[in-house]
Amino acid sequence: KSVGEVMAIGRTFEESFQKALRMCHPSVDGFTSRLPM
């Protein structure tokens, strides 16, 4: 039974956290800036 866990392996915490976010929500790019350039 699924319990809503993710496992992401990366070289840094930030990389792992970005991967985990993308696994949960494929349409999300992770933490990206939404400010106009």
Give residue limits of the domains in the chain: 1-30
Task: Count CB atoms within 10 A of the CB of residue 19.
Answer: 16
pTM: predicted TM-score of the whole model, two decimal places: 0.58
Describe the chain by its helix, strand, coil percentages, rounded to 5: 30, 0, 70
Instruction: Report the distance separating Cα 19 and Cα 27, nearest Å.
Output: 12
pLDDT band at 5 (very low <50, low <70, confident <90, very high): confident
Q: What is the pLDDT of residues 26-37, one digit of tens each?
A: 777 767 666 665
pLDDT band at 11 (very low <50, low <70, confident <90, very high): very high
Helices (H), the chain: 13-24
17 Rama sector, left if φ>0, alpha if ψ -120 to 50, beta otherwise = alpha
